[in-house]
Amino acid sequence: MSSPAQVAPKFPDSIFRAYDIRGTVPEFLNAETAYWLGRAIGSQSLAQDEPNVSVGRDGRLSGPELVEQLIKGLADSGCHVSDVGLVPTPALYYAANVLAGKSGVMLTGSHNPSNYNGFKIVIAGDTLANEQIQALHERLKTNNLSSGTGSITQVEILDRYNTEIVQDIKLARRLKVVVDCGNGVAGD
């Protein structure tokens, strides 16, 4: 993939949404865009004194390639990445709060069709939205990107996450549950 010395490609404005970065794969999101988004997110995280970033993904078929390049981009920016793997979005937010740092990126297409994917981002405990998402786009346009040597660590978070839920939640009665796993982790 791209080296840190190169300049980011032009990104379409349409993928930078109000609450996330998302688009169709491979037309708008692919390995190259994932790498450069990792560089931009890592640069912003470092600018906020947050060198540690947790990363998770959902079960979409495009996920493994995109998350690999996202993580590489984060590490090439100088961040230390905790790869929590295939997890539901709340588990990624949990990891971002309990592991080193308060930052994370979830690769997920959410409720969108399976040919979509996207990035939900939290830096220093704040979920990025609106102007903060646009600031990442501006970093890419101006090549205002950090370079460094980060690290990548695989972290098992689901057991810890599930244990905490079981300890914290006490149900008054039994529940009846219906599940639609459409492209979610539970459907994998």
Domain with 128 in it? 13-187
Q: Is the pLDDT of residue 4 over 60?
A: no
Q: What percent of the chain has pLDDT over 90?
A: 86
Each residue of 25-55: pLDDT tens digit? 999 999 999 999 999 999 999 999 999 999 9
Q: What's the mean per-residue pLDDT of the chain?
A: 94
Over residues 11-38, mean pLDDT: 97
Rounded Cα–Cα distance for residues 66 and 70 (Å)? 6
**Per the residue annotation, which of 54, 110, 147, 151 is the catalytic one?**
110
Q: Is the pLDDT of residue 2 over 80?
A: no
Over residues 76-90, mean pLDDT: 98
- pLDDT category, 181, cuts 50, 70, 90? confident
> Is there a domain that residue 65 lies in?
yes
Each residue of 114-158: pLDDT tens digit? 999 999 999 999 999 999 999 999 999 999 999 999 999 999 999
Q: What confidence score (pLDDT) does residue 180 get?
A: 76
Number of neighbours of residue 27 by Cβ within 10 angstroms: 10
> Is there a domain that residue 165 lies in?
yes
- Cα–Cα–Cα angle for 116, 114, 187, nearest 5°? 130
Q: Is 110 a catalytic residue?
A: yes
> Is there a domain that residue 1 lies in?
no
Our count of domains for the chain comes to: 1
Q: Is the pLDDT of residue 6 over 90?
A: no
> Is there a domain that residue 3 lies in?
no
> Is there a domain that residue 131 lies in?
yes
> Is there a domain that residue 25 lies in?
yes
CATH of the domain at 139: 3.40.120.10
Contacts from 183-187 at CB under 8 Å and sequence distance 24+? 183/58, 183/59, 183/60, 183/109, 183/114, 184/58, 184/59, 184/88, 185/58, 185/59, 185/86, 185/87, 185/88, 186/88, 187/59
> Is there a domain that residue 107 lies in?
yes
